[in-house]
Amino acid sequence: MPLSVLILGGTTEASALARKIAGDPRLAPILSLAGRTTNPQPQPIPIRAGGFGGIAGLVTFLRREAIEAVVDATHPYADQMSAHAVAACRETDIPLASLVRAEWPRRADDQWQVVADTETAARALGDTPRRVFLSLGRQELHVFATAPQHHYLARLIERPEQETLPPDLRLLQARGPFDRIAEERLLRDERIDVLVSKNAGGMATYAKIEAARALGLPVIMIARPHKPAGAVVPDVDACVQWLHGLAPRGV
């Protein structure tokens, strides 16, 4: 029988892993999505969407579906889901691999102000009105309502659901990847003074960091939270090797 695998996804790495192992006779994968995007991109393996109901719910799912291995390929800032995965896999004695995307390195010509969280980022914008490009997803836009003096441009895949948002906010709906030339044009055309970003890593949205560097714009960079992990794998190929090491031979 092939190895039953649960992939905790929602990232480019999770999608790449799904494509890599689709049709692999040694593996029987399921891709789990948090359900925050109502129209996710098609995937070549079975999908489940929505939360599990905490650690207990995840444990119940793992046992009910007879999962034999878990891959945590969630976003670098999805620390709660990763903590639940570590706890649930420990309780069920199921092997866990964590696909950890490398951070963007800070270069000498980057003008970064690193802050601990979104609330600190909003305060770091200061009292003087500025034109701010928010590139951090839709879940935390409401935080910037505490700094209403600024003009905000936020790029999202889907519109935010929060009732309280900054009063001077314009939404730009788009899905990456983006290229540096287009990002420079966007920052210039919108007369952006400062970029607020999470250090997501990867190449899909790195162009905005390159554009800010080229234009000499400051970046308020929200640091990554501590993210519990299992066996850390650096990329999709290493993850596939890890799974093959667990899979039965001769399948």
230 is a domain residue: yes
Say what the pLDDT of residue 162 is. 79
Question: What pTM does this model have?
Answer: 0.87
87 and 132 share a domain? no
26 and 48 share a domain? yes
48 and 93 share a domain? yes
Q: What is 34-94 written as a DSSP string?
A: -S-SSSPPP-SS-EEES---HHHHHHHHHHHTT--EEEE---TT-HHHHHHHHHHHHHHT-
89 and 159 share a domain? no
- In contact, 26 and 251? CB cutoff 8 Å: yes
94 and 10 share a domain? yes
156 and 92 share a domain? no
Distance CA 240, CA 251 (A): 16
Residue with token string 């305060």: 123
Cis peptide before 177 (omega within 30 of 0): yes
Measured in degrees and rounded to the nearest 5, phi and psi for residue 80 equal -65, -45
79 and 143 share a domain? no
Residues with Cβ < 8 Å from 51, sequence gap 6 or more? 34, 35, 57
Query: Pairing mode, if any, of strands 47-49 and 112-115?
Result: unpaired
Per-residue pLDDT of the chain (251 residues; tens, 9 = 90+): 999 999 999 888 999 999 999 999 999 999 999 866 656 678 999 999 989 999 999 999 999 999 999 999 999 999 999 999 999 999 999 999 999 989 999 999 999 999 999 999 999 999 999 999 999 888 899 999 999 999 999 998 888 887 899 999 999 988 878 899 999 999 999 999 999 999 999 888 899 999 999 999 999 999 999 999 999 999 999 999 999 999 987 66
121 and 211 share a domain? yes
Which CATH number goes with the domain that contains 77?
A: 3.40.50.720
Q: For residue 234, give the nearest of 121, 101, 123 by alpha carbon.
A: 101
57 and 119 share a domain? no
Alpha helix stretches (DSSP H) within the chain: 12-21, 54-64, 79-92, 118-124, 180-189, 207-215, 236-246
Query: Pairing mode, if any, of strands 219-222 and 69-72?
Result: unpaired
Say what the pLDDT of residue 37 is. 60
95 and 10 share a domain? yes
Which domain covers residue 24, as residue numbers?
A: 3-102+226-246
98 and 117 share a domain? no
107 is a domain residue: no
Which CATH number goes with the domain that contains 173?
A: 3.40.50.2000
Distance CA 134, CA 152 (A): 7
Distance CA 224, CA 42 (A): 28
Q: How many residues does the chain have?
A: 251
* Angle, vertex CA 119, rays to CA 156 and CA 228, nearest 5: 80
Domains of the chain: total? 2
3-state secondary structure (DSSP) of residue 194: strand
Query: Pairing mode, if any, of strands 96-99 and 194-198?
Result: unpaired
* Angle, vertex CA 18, rays to CA 41 and CA 100, nearest 5: 100
